[in-house]
């Protein structure tokens, strides 16, 4: 086995390890979402997921650099060519591809759940604004809009 193939094998093993951690973070996120999306837990899983995504991107760049040195294309096509040329890489290529596909599907499912939560929250805010006669208090950049006082309808408890 050449040094480049050994380096690619080690790189793929690390990428598979990171992808496993990413899958676990996605599963944790899915559980938090199923349990009602507690803000602190969702923030924790999002931070973890984003850190792992950054690590995966760096690892992919390392992999692509090795593929380039081997005379292969980047990403999927290059991995496929390297696995065909070096059969010992085929199981790692398959495992990485399968895990990546599973992670993508789970991430998309989590995203759909988050979209439902966001839609619900947006409709709730609109209802509250109508009830209180208040328009948007803040603009898109988070600054207070001038003159956004209520329309004079006050809601009093009791």
Asked if residues 97 and 114 have their Cβ atoms less than 8 Å apart, the reply is no
Cβ atoms within 10 Å, residue 86: 17
pLDDT of residue 158: 53
DSSP letter for each residue of 58-118: HHHHHHHHHHHHTT--SHHHHHHHHHHHSGGGHHHHHHHHHHHHHHHHHHHHHHHHHHHHH
Indicate the pTM of the whole model.
Answer: 0.74
pLDDT of residue 139: 60
Report the alpha-carbon distance of residue 157 to residue 155 in Å, rounded: 7
pLDDT of residue 86: 96
pLDDT of residue 148: 47
Which portions of the chain are predicted below pLDDT 50? 148-152
Give the burial string for 131-154 (b: 16+ CB within 10 Å, else e): eeeeeeeeeeeeeeeeeeeeeeee
Report the alpha-carbon distance of residue 33 to residue 146 in Å, rounded: 36
Give the side-chain half-sphere CA count within 13 A for 123. Answer: 6
pLDDT of residue 154: 53
Give the chain's domains with CATH numbers: 3-108 (1.20.58.300)
């Amino acid at each position: 086995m050449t040094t480049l193939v050994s380096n690619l094998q080690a790189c793929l093993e690390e990428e598979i390890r990171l992808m496993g951690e990413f899958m676990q973070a996605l599963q944790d996120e899915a559980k938090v979402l199923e349990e009602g999306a507690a803000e602190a837990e969702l923030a924790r899983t999002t931070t973890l997921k984003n850190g792992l995504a950054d690590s995966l991107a760096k690892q992919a760049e390392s992999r692509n650099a090795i593929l380039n040195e081997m005379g292969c294309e980047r990403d999927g096509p290059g991995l496929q060519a390297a696995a065909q040329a070096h059969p010992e890489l085929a199981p790692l290529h398959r495992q990485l591809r399968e895990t990546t596909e599973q992670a993508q599907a789970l991430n998309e499912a989590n995203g759909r759940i988050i979209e439902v939560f966001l839609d619900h929250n947006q409709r709730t805010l609109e209802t509250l604004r109508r009830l209180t006669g208040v328009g948007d208090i803040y603009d898109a950049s988070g600054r207070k809009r001038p003159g956004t006082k209520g329309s004079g309808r006050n809601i009093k408890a009791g």
